[in-house]
Amino acid sequence: MWNLIPSRKRSEDQPPQPTFIKRGCLRIALNNLLPIPPVPPSFEWVAWHDDLREAHAKTLFESFQQSIDSIVFPNLGNPSGCALIVDSICGHPHFCEEGTWLLTRKGEPVGTVQALLNPDASLGMIQNIGVIPEYRGYGLGKILLLKLLHALRDKGIHSAQLEVTMKNHIALNLYYALGFRRRRILYREVSPSENETYSI
């Protein structure tokens, strides 16, 4: 059901071969973005602050723990791993605070998005877009993504990039509808370790 690329059959004396998941690298020009839809009643934007690391990590975990991305990136499948991811992103020298947002409902986090810039600040690098399961179907992923893209454009960035598992058709349909286009295909090796080091 997931886009796993299995190894060939092997004899008993051969070592196990790695398994890969097909991912796409997508990019969008920021000169003709759709407007940011208003958030539904009782939802609010919360801009990045260092005190929000735990809230972003908690939302990231609740959004991804049962997803294929937690197979590709095992840290997404446990709370401490998600805390490590958030620490790695916000501690990165090219962390983009303006593109990092929390979406809350009645004070409780329900969605998160984070961003980096490439070294010469010419390209926005979208890191994670997560909405917890109870609040999917309201268009919050689209709102989060457009909030980030507009923030990048306001900083003078001309394009943005992300990676997505090609079997995630809901995400792909959203990205294509917003104007993302595929640049290349990547094959990410599935790691059996739940203690993988997160690197950007």
- Token reading at 152: 């990048």
Residues 23, 33, 123, 47, CA torsion sign: negative
pLDDT digits (tens, 9 = 90+) for 54-65: 999 999 999 999
**What does the pLDDT read at residue 190?**
79
Q: Looking at the predicted structure, is the pLDDT value of residue 8 above 80?
A: no
For the 38-158 domain, the top CATH level (class) is: alpha beta
What's the confidence (pLDDT) of residue 16? 63
Number of CB atoms found within 10 A of residue 55's CB: 17
Q: φ, ψ for residue 103 (rounded to 5)?
A: -110, 125
Res 12: pLDDT: 58
pLDDT digits (tens, 9 = 90+) for 170-196: 999 999 999 999 999 999 887 554 444
Provide the whole-model pTM.
0.86
- Per the listing, tokens 């809230």 go with 55
Which pLDDT belongs to residue 68?
87
Residues 6+ apart with CB under 8 A from 11: none
Q: What is the pLDDT of residues 63-102, one digit of tens each?
A: 999 898 998 899 999 999 999 999 999 999 999 999 999 9
**Nearby residues of 104 by Cβ (< 8 Å), 6 or more positions away:** 43, 44, 45, 46, 110
pLDDT at 199 over 50: no
Between these two residues, 44 and 9, which has the higher pLDDT value?
A: 44
